[in-house]
């Protein structure tokens, strides 16, 4: 049951990365891809029907952690207190910027909210990437299973550590490039005209950077956590994820060069999903790695709720998850085709 719930949490977090990732990436590129007010409203029209629903997967993942692995969630929330506040503020400011931006037909007003939307959207992938970097590198867990981190210390991935060091910053940069590339592929699919053309070119450029960053980040991961890659040969799901990621990366380049925007976007989805699957498979069963040694690790087995509680929660999840998937299928069906900019003053 613990293995199943570890997989459920991984699936829900992957859904969040893939779905909210494209509108985070599109938002981070907002000021780069869109030069005029009409073009910026085109970007907002592309992500407008989806962004708030996509964030539900983050809440659902938190709920799944609360039900299945309360100790891991409690330790993570307390230890990453500062980072979580930055995430919450970025999510709030991003939503406010989207909703307030078109309330006034004033250039200064709109430039302010555009800048805030782009800043918050770009900061979130860095924070999420750095958080994953902390989980991979390890945190200073006490014997009671708690930890506390400052923003940074010596900038080295060894004790005393902070949230930021060279490895977690590299992980944040990797996440930023991956999600902005994902967002560019989405906008190339959903838009026409200058925004489409710039998005297509930027998709190639960003995934080209990713080709360089991926092996560098992998090497850095081996330096800070040799056991992670050492687990790869024994984890078939990790190999499946790796193949999915490589296939997705190749698809992005081939499909973009052939102007098949939907296929390129699906390739980007496959890359992100494959990376998440491979990482989760190699990490299992560890949920919070302790820098003091594996004896203090918080794992799916020592942080899980009671078996009875997990069975009850599974019964509700089996009902809720298909409904959520059906909702997103209907949503994409209703908003299929290219993004249409609403008349000025009417929404996005």
10-36 residue pLDDT tens: 999 999 999 999 999 999 999 999 888
User: Is there a contact between 281 and 237 (Cβ–Cβ < 8 Å)?
Assistant: yes
Tens place of pLDDT for every residue, the chain, 348 residues?
A: 889 999 999 999 999 999 999 999 999 999 999 888 888 999 999 998 888 889 989 999 999 999 999 988 888 888 888 888 999 999 999 999 998 888 888 889 999 999 999 999 999 999 999 999 999 999 988 888 888 888 888 888 888 888 889 999 999 999 999 999 999 999 999 999 899 999 999 999 999 999 999 999 999 999 999 988 888 888 999 999 999 999 999 999 999 999 999 999 999 999 999 999 999 999 999 998 988 788 888 989 888 888 888 888 899 899 989 998 998 889 888 888 887 777 766 566
Region class of 139: left (phi > 0), else alpha (psi between -120 and 50), else beta = beta
Q: For residue 30, how far is the Cα from the chain centroid? A: 18
User: Is there a contact between 161 and 153 (Cβ–Cβ < 8 Å)?
Assistant: yes
Nearest to 141, CA basis, from 308, 318, 302, 254? 302
User: Is there a contact between 314 and 83 (Cβ–Cβ < 8 Å)?
Assistant: no
Assigned token pair, 153? 């210390």
CA–CA gap between residue 19 and residue 158 (Å, rounded): 34
C-alpha dihedral over 12, 21, 93, 80, to 10 degrees? 50
Neighbouring-strand partners of residue 286: 299
User: Is there a contact between 122 and 28 (Cβ–Cβ < 8 Å)?
Assistant: yes
Residue 70's CB: how many other CB atoms inside 10 A? Answer: 14
């Amino acid at each position: 049951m613990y293995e199943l719930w570890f997989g459920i949490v991984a699936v829900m977090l992957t859904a969040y990365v893939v779905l909210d990732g494209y509108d985070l990436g599109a938002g981070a590129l907002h000021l780069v891809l869109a030069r005029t007010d009409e073009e910026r409203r085109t970007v907002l029209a592309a992500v407008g029907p989806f962004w708030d629903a996509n964030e539900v997967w983050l809440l659902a993942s938190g709920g799944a952690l609360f039900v299945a692995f309360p100790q891991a969630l409690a330790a993570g929330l307390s230890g990453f207190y500062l980072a979580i506040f930055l995430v919450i503020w970025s999510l709030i400011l991003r939503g406010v910027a989207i909703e307030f931006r078109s309330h006034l037909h004033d250039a200064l007003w709109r430039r302010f909210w555009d800048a805030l939307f782009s800043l918050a959207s770009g900061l979130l992938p860095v924070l999420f990437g750095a958080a994953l970097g902390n989980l991979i590198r390890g945190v200073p867990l006490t014997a009671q299973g708690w930890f506390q981190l400052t923003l940074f210390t010596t900038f080295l991935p060894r004790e005393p550590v902070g949230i930021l060091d060279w490895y977690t910053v590299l992980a944040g940069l990797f996440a930023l490039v991956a999600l902005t590339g994902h967002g560019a592929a989405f906008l190339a699919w959903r838009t026409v005209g200058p925004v489409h053309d710039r998005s297509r070119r930027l998709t190639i450029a960003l995934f080209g950077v990713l080709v360089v960053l991926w092996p560098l980040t992998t090497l850095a991961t081996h330096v800070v956590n040799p056991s992670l890659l050492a687990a790869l040969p024994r984890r078939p799901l990790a190999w499946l994820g790796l193949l999915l990621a490589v296939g997705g990366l190749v698809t992005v380049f081939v499909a973009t060069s052939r102007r098949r925007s939907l296929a390129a976007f699906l390739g980007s989805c496959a890359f992100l999903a494959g990376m998440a699957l491979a990482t989760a498979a190699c990490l299992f069963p560890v949920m919070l790695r302790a820098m003091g040694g594996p004896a203090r690790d918080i794992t799916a087995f020592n942080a899980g709720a009671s078996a009875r509680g997990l069975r009850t929660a599974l019964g509700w999840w089996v009902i809720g998850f298909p409904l959520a998937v059906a909702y997103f299928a209907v949503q994409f069906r209703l908003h299929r085709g290219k993004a249409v900019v609403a008349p000025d003053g009417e929404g996005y």
